[in-house]
């Protein structure tokens, strides 16, 4: 039985850590993977404070570095280290180099978003300056797996680093088993509901630049922002509603919506995203409209996601879906069936088990 130490970035509260690590543990154990230790770098309390835009004390961060150092002394007990992003977030590049050289075990690094580009966008000038040189490390014992082909190509073009694509997955037991084609405007005489899902942090990163768009759409549609920062988006107008996110309620809240929306800024960090939040809407049988970025081409071809570029296109595309039930239903079924087939968690767990076993 292969022994693995797992080092996620966050607790299960963090979406990437939950989806790409924690949700696979049970299946992996059944496949012969012995998870000897799981040690997220950041605590759940850290993430909650980050979502609330509250300061994190330096002693709190230092404790997490010490905890990570301690868990690395236990590497002799494992065959493989399964790491999310990096050993020491926010630390200089030389920290990663030293640790990687000292560890003789194979290291599987999983990266969901382009953290190296994200570091360059930090508001803190000091952090932005000394972290802008961060890049993937090249070492014989390190293998990289990324969430999408665009990020894979960026690793090759920008850093000359080879990476393989490891797709995300959905815990399908939490999602509906059939498509509900009913639009509010047709069945209940209510305006259609446009839905967005994310975190307070991602709403500050991605939605701030789309407030004008949201206000324009809210003239004709109700908008539910699931998990958004209430202090920013909760007071725009009565048709824009901020819905508190919990793991228990997220699927029920998505199902209440008619169309998923994914407005994103046209920047390098957004281009690296896998579109997981759009996938969640598609898995609930909801057509999705997104800003036009490189990764949306693949989602459009496979699952019927509709990419748009201008505010006018947003309005025209949403109106077209509302006025054309046959098109709405076709896209609902295309997305629902395609996502359930491609994001099966057991298939991805089997792939992860092979990756870990082959690393030895």
pTM of the complete model: 0.91
Q: Are residues 224 and 98 part of one domain?
A: no
Check pLDDT > 80 for residue 269: no
Check pLDDT > 80 for residue 118: no
Q: Are residues 71 and 19 part of one domain?
A: yes
Domain of residue 65, residue span:
2-169+344-358
Please tell me which residue, 127 or 20, carries the higher pLDDT value.
20
Cβ atoms 312, 295 nearer than 8 A = no
Q: Are residues 152 and 247 part of one domain?
A: no
CATH number at residue 151: 3.40.50.2000
Q: Are residues 29 and 13 part of one domain?
A: yes
Query: Whose CA is closest to 176, among 334, 284, 331?
Result: 284
Cα gap 160→326, rounded to integer Å: 46
Cα gap 296→307, rounded to integer Å: 6
Cα gap 258→255, rounded to integer Å: 8
Cα gap 103→114, rounded to integer Å: 24
Split at pLDDT 50, 70, 90, the class of 257 is very high
Give me the number of domains the chain comprises.
2
- Estimate to the nearest angstrom the gap between the alpha carbon of 66 and the chain centroid: 27
Check pLDDT > 90 for residue 263: yes
Phi, psi at 7, each rounded to 5°: -125, 80
Helix extents (H) in the chain = 15-20, 25-30, 44-51, 58-72, 93-102, 115-119, 125-131, 149-159, 184-187, 200-202, 211-217, 230-233, 250-256, 268-271, 276-283, 296-303, 311-323, 325-342, 345-358
Cα gap 36→80, rounded to integer Å: 10
């Amino acid at each position: 039985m292969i022994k693995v130490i797992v080092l996620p970035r966050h607790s299960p509260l963090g979406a990437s850590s939950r989806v790409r690590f924690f949700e696979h543990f049970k299946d992996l154990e059944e496949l012969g993977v012995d998870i000897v230790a799981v040690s997220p770098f950041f605590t759940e309390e850290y993430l909650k404070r980050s979502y609330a835009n509250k300061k994190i004390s330096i002693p709190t961060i230092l404790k997490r570095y010490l905890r990570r150092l301690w868990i690395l002394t236990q590497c002799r007990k494992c065959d493989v280290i399964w790491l999310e992003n990096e050993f020491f977030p926010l630390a200089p590049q030389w920290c990663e180099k030293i640790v990687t050289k000292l560890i003789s075990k194979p290291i599987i690094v999983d990266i969901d978003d382009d953290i190296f580009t994200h570091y360059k966008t930090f508001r803190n000038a000091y952090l932005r300056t000394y972290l802008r040189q961060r890049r993937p490390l090249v070492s014989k014992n390190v293998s990289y797996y990324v969430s999408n082909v665009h990020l894979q190509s960026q690793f090759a073009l920008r850093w000359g680093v080879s990476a393989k694509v490891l797709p995300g997955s959905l815990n399908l037991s939490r999602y509906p088993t059939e498509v509900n084609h009913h639009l509010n405007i047709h069945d209940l005489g209510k305006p259609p509901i446009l839905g967005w899902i994310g975190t307070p942090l991602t709403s500050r990163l991605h939605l701030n630049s789309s407030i004008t768009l949201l206000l324009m759409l809210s003239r004709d549609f109700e908008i539910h922002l699931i998990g958004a920062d209430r202090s920013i988006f909760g007071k725009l107008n009565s048709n824009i509603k901020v819905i508190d996110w919990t793991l228990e309620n997220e699927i029920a809240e998505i199902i209440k919506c008619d169309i998923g929306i994914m407005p994103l800024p046209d920047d390098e960090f957004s281009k690296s995203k896998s579109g997981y939040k759009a996938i969640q809407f598609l898995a609930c049988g909801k057509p999705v409209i997104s800003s036009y970025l490189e990764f949306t081409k693949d989602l459009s071809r496979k699952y019927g996601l509709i990419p748009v570029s201008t505010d006018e296109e947003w309005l025209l595309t949403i109106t077209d879906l509302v006025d054309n039930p046959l098109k709405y239903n076709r896209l609902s079924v295309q997305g629902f069936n395609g996502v359930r087939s491609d994001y099966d968690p057991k298939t991805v767990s089997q792939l992860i088990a092979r990756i870990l076993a082959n690393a030895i």
